[in-house]
Structure 1
């Protein structure tokens, strides 16, 4: 078990002043390093309060109860990165920490992230007090599903990546309350799904959640939150605030905490791929992080458009109307493990996974 590496330098009057630890490099580890604080996560003072009579967090499923931390810190903001915290997180590769990054470059962006003024979701004033959320993926299983009205009937609808809705309302709905993205997924989706009419969701009052996937995301954040062109990296000279369809609002903008991302990986989606030399490239999908974000902020979670056991019957995306494409397996994600996790959570009644009742039907 690896030990923590911290650094201090003499300060005034012989005291010690903490400084950034020496940079760790991924190439120096043949598999995911296991630190003695690997499974320790920052937690908020108290967990989310709810008046729902039977929230999912009260499940009796033993494995979920053991793994689930209801008050794990979800979001990172400007007060969360003192030197001690930097040195702790510098042991973990992105997006689970800051391995290989320079302290000053990351901190310049983090210091601009505002503290959230309200929870990601709020109870509605009617009904039984339960916050009901739909998490909508882009899977081809939704093509021809007719689930649009059911999805939009939820209090909140979470979407991510290339969430095309125009022209597909009958199957996927048109409401977006929370849009989860990285800088790469946002900019790439605008390009890849342009021919399907994709636009960044722009519902009034929409909340944006960013996954800080890599250094390019901190460069994006610095430009976004300072209202300046990105000064370096792959998005050099871009104006990030112009990519949010006129709905960017700092008070409705959230950045996921690296501890939350690592917690999701370690406790729910720890792939065997982490034991090999390709360990630095592996992480759960944006959709997976979104599901677990919903599980920590909502009382009832229904997931649509995620991989099911009969995935081969459907195209890769619901926008592929003629089922010519197949699910693509990338080296940086373990989609089969995620599929099994969704089924397990469904069977334990922790969330409901949409599965086709007519598995022999071809998408139309």
Structure 2
């Protein structure tokens, strides 16, 4: 009898331990969605480290609410923006330009209209210009690669010229690489970036995988976001870009013709076009996604009509790399071979990007650029919470800020505005659904940032009057 009691006690103890360790793991790996949203959202995994930084002026005030723990891929944030965070003193913060790894050789610093060389900027050994302050946590990493890539136009009143006159001048880096390509993968770079996981570095990605993938991105088409500007410029002095989110504010907007009238049109994730052309346009020149958000979008929005990324001769596919699976899908797409391993093992990339996909149509954001956006533009209060390791800017936020760094004029459509409650989550929703909030993005802070950029004249944000 005593033996039976001991056995029963042992079973109960083991069961309790399993509940303690397994349930939280399940919770973070498969985060439940709000009941009101069903399976509509295309989640991003809650497994990312995040970085913060200090600058000459603070970012928009964060209203980060860590509950509920829900995942989401959209660009939008909520609540009326507040920007009452006191500005740090000059003694506390260095100018943004001081914290840059200069790997350019200083050659070709004259302004040119179009650069077509396939060699790209020549790099020097990477050396930080300023040591990290001892009070900074190791995940900040506020030192970045620097390249001297001349502007593609001499646009009067363009973003690069105007930003220095605004509150964003102290944190805007003109020479940070937006995209990564063949010349960026070196042992030294890997040693530096492997300490930052997720989209912010190369942590968890083997050097051999980086070499296999990035060596196929070896032309100007891969390191220039707007690689065909010379062919489409038509004597235009300024590059005009439309960045289109999936927000419900676009429903019945009749903005489709205006959107298509830009030189370039950026879209992301569950961008459903068919049937909504009058409101959102029909062209897509740049489609931003991660492998995870792509696969989730195809599952979550299939019922609404999303079958996969837009396909056209002018469409470029811009990967936001979160894991090695992004590098593996990139290589497969560039070489027209099945994905070698990982969750997409054996899948045919032409299913997603079309039969005519080639290395020239593929691009990948540089982890330095994503970390810089988080550190200097979207430094959320989430970094002070238990969610700091999973926080990063949303995919749509990265897309809009990438356009800010590459285009002369940027118009943003379908991004959340203070009257967000008047519109459904997406423009293609058949009935009203409220916007969801998610722990791995600070959507409130993002909306605040869009308002500030609009007020500073750096973007033109579509809002209902």
TM exceeding 0.5: yes
Counterpart in the other structure of 1:236: 345
How far has the Cα of 1:215 moved from its partner? 2.1
Cα separation, 2, equivalents of 1:230 and 1:46: 33
8 Å Cα contact 2:179/2:225 also seen in 1: no
Aligned to 2:225: 120
Q: State the shift of 1:127 in Å.
A: 5.7
Query: In structure 2, what is the Cα distance between the partners aligned to 1:34 and 1:285?
Result: 19
Contact kept, 8 Å, 1:48 with 1:70, in 2: the verdict is no
Q: Distance in 1 between matches of 2:333 and 2:233?
A: 33
RMSD: 1.9
Offset from partner CA, 1:241-263 (integer Å, 9 cap, x none): 33113341211211111111111
How far the C-alpha of 1:351 sits from its partner, in A, is: 0.4
Range moving further from structure 2, 85-94 or 49-58: 49-58
Residue by residue, what CA displacement relative to the aligned partner does 1:312-361 show, whole Å, maximum 9, x if unpaired? 111111101432x111111111000000000000000000111112xxxx
TM-score normalized with structure 2 length: 0.66
1:199-348 equivalences in 2 (<5 Å): 199=307, 200-323=309-432, 325-348=433-456
Q: 1:110 offset after TM fit, Å? A: 2.8
Shift, 1:34, TM fit: 4.1
Secondary structure, aligned partner of 2:410:
strand
Q: Which of 79, 94, 100 is the equivalent residue of 2:198?
A: 94
Contact 1:206–1:247, Cα closer than 8 Å, also in 2 = no
Unpaired runs of at least 5, structure 2:
1-135
Q: Would you say the 8 A contact 2:217–2:360 is kept in 1?
A: no
- Map 1:95-174 to 2 at 5 A: 95-117=199-221, 119-121=224-226, 122=229, 124-126=232-234, 128-174=236-282
The answer as to whether partners of 2:335 and 2:359 remain within 8 angstroms in 1 is no
Correspondence for 1:83 = 187
Q: CA 1:337–1:258 in 2, change beyond 3 Å: closer, same or farther? A: same
Partner residue in 2 for 1:58: 161
Higher relative contact order (CA 8 A, sep 6+): 2
Deviations 1:254-310 (A, max 9, x none): 111111111111111111112223222111111111111111111100000001111
SS state at 2:298 partner: helix
Larger radius of gyration: 2
Number of the residue aligned with 1:20: none
What are the Cα deviations for residues 78-120 of structure 1, in whole angstroms up to 9, with x where unaligned?
Answer: 2211111101001112111122343334433333333333732
Whole-angstrom CA distance in 2 between matches of 1:241 and 1:78: 22
Structure 1 residues 13-52: aligned runs within 5 Å? 33-34=138-139, 38-52=141-155
Q: For the structure 1 residues 265 and 274, does the alpha-carbon distance in structure 2 shift closer, same or farther, using more than 3 Å as the test?
A: same
Q: Cα offset for 1:46?
A: 3.3
Displacement of 1:207? 1.2
The offset of 1:213, in angstroms, is 1.4
- Is residue 2:301 matched to residue 1:198? no
Separation of aligned partners in 2, 1:246 and 1:34: 40
Partners of 1:32 and 1:146 lie apart in 2 by 47
Contact 2:333–2:358 (CA under 8 A) maintained in structure 1: no
3-state SS of 1:191 partner: helix
Structure 1 residues 106-164: Cα deviation after superposition (integer angstroms, max 9, x where no partner):
43333333333373221644464111110000011111111111111111110111111
Cα deviation, 1:3-34, whole Å, max 9, x if unaligned, reads: xxxxxxxxxxxxxxxxxxxxxxxxxxxx9634
Comparing 226-235 and 336-345, the one that deviates more? 226-235
Instruction: Tell me the matched-pair count.
Output: 324
Q: Which residue in the other structure is 1:351 paired with? A: 459
Q: 1:198 to 1:88 in 2, by over 3 A?
A: same
- Alpha-carbon separation, structure 2, partners of 1:298 and 1:86: 29
Give the 3-state SS of the residue equivalent to 1:117 in structure 2.
helix
2:242–2:412 Cα contact (<8 Å) kept: yes
Equivalent-residue separation in structure 2 for 1:194 and 1:82 (angstroms): 40
Q: Structure 1 residues 212 and 34, CA, compared in 2 at 3 Å: closer, same or farther? A: closer
* Counterpart residue number, 2:293: 185
Aligned position for 2:19? none
1:52/1:130 contact within 8 Å kept: yes
Structure 1 range deviating more: 163-172 or 191-200: 191-200
> Which structure 1 residue ranges, 4+ long, deviate > 4 Å from structure 2?
none
Look up the match of 1:362.
none
